[in-house]
Structure 1
Amino acid sequence: MAALPEGTPCWADATFADLDAAKSFYGDVLGWTFGESSAEFGNYTQAYADGKAVAAVVPPMPGQDAPSAWCLYLASPNAAATAEKIRANGGETLMDPMRVGDFGTMLMARDPGGVAFGVWQAGTHEGFGARGVPGAFCWAEVFTREPAKADAFFPAVFPYTLREMQDDHVDFRLFGVGDETVMGRMRMGDEFPPEVPPYVNVYFTVADCDAAVAKATERGAVLRFGPMSMPFGRFAALTDPQGAAFSVIDVTTTEGEMPTTVPVS
């Protein structure tokens, strides 16, 4: 598999205080199976959908007390150079580029509006083994209260083009790499309580959105929005039992016409 174009979402992982509970929950809801935990890398544990690597879960580092949250990684051919661009454009690096064995190099960062994300320079681990199939990553959106900062920052760090959705009800933009739309940006409105921080919302594909929601809530997740059908699919937003936000989407169940988008200069 060739390295993904710069700025393309390439991997997702999450930290959970109770790793076994997380594996049980996502195994049930998304059908994941799990590899052996790697003690050398802090018990990092890969998740698989139909034998393909799709995500990972990991316990917190000793002394770490951060809330559970999904992290999306964006591809970079040079993590050190990306770190410089992040700092030069008003962002901050939370963890400087760190080599992870032969797998690749990672860094953790935050945009000027407080949105945390990761960057991955691939080595032997090139990223998602599958996308857009049940259990695999499908889509992601930057949820921010400071959309102007996100719209300036991300295209300055990554080679994104920017398009705006023509909809009076939402402030939504799309980041593109070449001919591919890779990520969205949504302004957080009053429906988000002040204590909810800005974040990247990661969508995982499911065969049946309603069934996945029923299973997730049965297992202790909280339904935040949906299920709702749109031109892109039927989706719902959830918070898992340990507090990590994520969404599920059935891309085969669609409703309505695709919205109009226009380039943003």
Structure 2
Amino acid sequence: MTEATRRTPGTPCWVSLMVHGLEPTREFYNALFDWDFVPGPQQLGPYVRALLDGREVAGIGQLPPDRNLPIAWTTYLATDDADETAETIRCCGGTVAVGPLDAGEAGRLVICSDPSGAVFGVWEAEAHHGTATAGPPGTPVWNELLTYETSSVGKFYRSVFGYEVEPVVSADLDYATLHLGGRPVASLHGVGNELPRDRGAHWMTYFEVADTDRAALLVAELGGQVLRPPREGTAGRLALVADPEGAVFTLVRSTGR
């Protein structure tokens, strides 16, 4: 069951992945995060919801054979009105690629991109309120936008979702935290020319693990890639990895766990 409470608009509420091989991808994430799966909604093609201890944590869908889209985890941000948010995104210099459209009784969605080209989703909840648990190993615990620079794109997200954008004052770090109601919900990280040329600006999902080093080894054993080996960071012990179809995500054993 999903949470019965509606998220504050702008809160990251769901992560979803579209792949070519649904069954091999299910096997990979089942072995890595111990996810189980239930089907639906099927309005957009074959789609499953990942469960951890019976609670929904993520979604995986299958691309049509003729769609050659980048394989990437997509962060969804909550809204009370998908149509109004889509219009605001257009007015603020973003692009709406898909929707707004209904996903059965689950809710209404939009797939869009910010002015820097980073793709994200917008979710207006009905029956499905999004990720039902965050914190235990196997759950998404943070979302960060990797972009060229944070100042202009921060204004976009503030205009669309009403975030308070709090920059880190640093001569060598371009970083800002997005707050709602005084609570940090996501972050922006400007990396300049270090932005991957093959991916451009993109949202990154952090998944909690019990042991970053062991999880990174398991990713490689399961046919994925370790793109940046485990290291200590401000959030905890991190590793940048990719699944067998190339979807990039971060493993983290959060500080204090």
- Counterpart contact for 2:216–2:229, Cα < 8 Å: no
Higher mean displacement: 48-57 or 226-235: 226-235
Superposed, which structure 2 residues align to 1:197-212 within 5 Å?
Answer: 197-212=200-215
**What residue is the counterpart of 2:48 in the other structure?**
45
Q: Distance in 1 between matches of 2:167 and 2:114?
A: 20
**What residue is the counterpart of 1:263 in the other structure?**
none
Q: Distance in 1 between matches of 2:55 and 2:196?
A: 37
Are residue 236 (structure 1) and residue 201 (structure 2) matched?
no
- Return the letter of the residue paired with 1:18: G
What's the CA shift for 1:37? 5.3
SS, match of residue 12 in structure 1? strand
Are residue 120 (structure 1) and residue 123 (structure 2) matched?
yes
- Counterpart contact for 2:95–2:115, Cα < 8 Å: yes
Higher mean displacement: 192-201 or 54-63: 192-201
Unaligned runs of 5+ in 2: none
SS, match of residue 192 in structure 2? coil
**What residue is the counterpart of 2:228 in the other structure?**
225
Q: Distance in 2 between matches of 1:34 and 1:14?
A: 14
What's the CA shift for 1:152? 1.1
Residue-by-residue CA offset, 1:52-106 (whole Å, 9 max, x unaligned): 1000111103521102111010000001110111011011111121011111000
- Return the letter of the residue paired with 2:164: T
TM-score, structure 1 normalization = 0.91
**What residue is the counterpart of 1:262 in the other structure?**
none
Which of the residues 200, 217, 230 maps onto 1:214?
217
- Counterpart contact for 1:113–1:149, Cα < 8 Å: no
Percent of aligned pairs with the same amino acid: 32
Unaligned runs of 5+ in 1: 255-265
**What residue is the counterpart of 2:91 in the other structure?**
88
Residue-by-residue CA offset, 1:187-209 (whole Å, 9 max, x unaligned): 13333442232110001111111
Q: Distance in 2 between matches of 1:85 and 1:39?
A: 28
**What residue is the counterpart of 2:67 in the other structure?**
64
Higher mean displacement: 7-16 or 63-72: 63-72
Higher mean displacement: 120-129 or 231-240: 231-240
The 1:109/1:39 distance shift into structure 2, 3 A limit, reads closer
Superposed, which structure 2 residues align to 1:11-22 within 5 Å?
Answer: 11-22=14-25
- Counterpart contact for 2:82–2:108, Cα < 8 Å: yes
Q: Distance in 2 between matches of 1:52 and 1:44?
A: 16
Q: Distance in 1 between matches of 2:108 and 2:41?
A: 17
Superposed, which structure 2 residues align to 1:1-265 within 5 Å?
Answer: 1-36=4-39, 39-252=42-255
- Counterpart contact for 2:146–2:191, Cα < 8 Å: yes
SS, match of residue 48 in structure 1? strand
The 1:44/1:226 distance shift into structure 2, 3 A limit, reads same
What's the CA shift for 1:253? 5.3
- Return the letter of the residue paired with 1:61: P
SS, match of residue 86 in structure 1? helix
Q: Distance in 2 between matches of 1:6 and 1:39?
A: 25
TM-score, structure 2 normalization = 0.93
Residue-by-residue CA offset, 1:128-148 (whole Å, 9 max, x unaligned): 111121111100111112433
Count of aligned pairs: 254
What's the CA shift for 1:225? 2.2
- Return the letter of the residue paired with 1:131: A
Q: What CA RMSD, in Å, does the superposition of the two structures yield over aligned residues?
A: 1.6
- Counterpart contact for 2:41–2:103, Cα < 8 Å: no
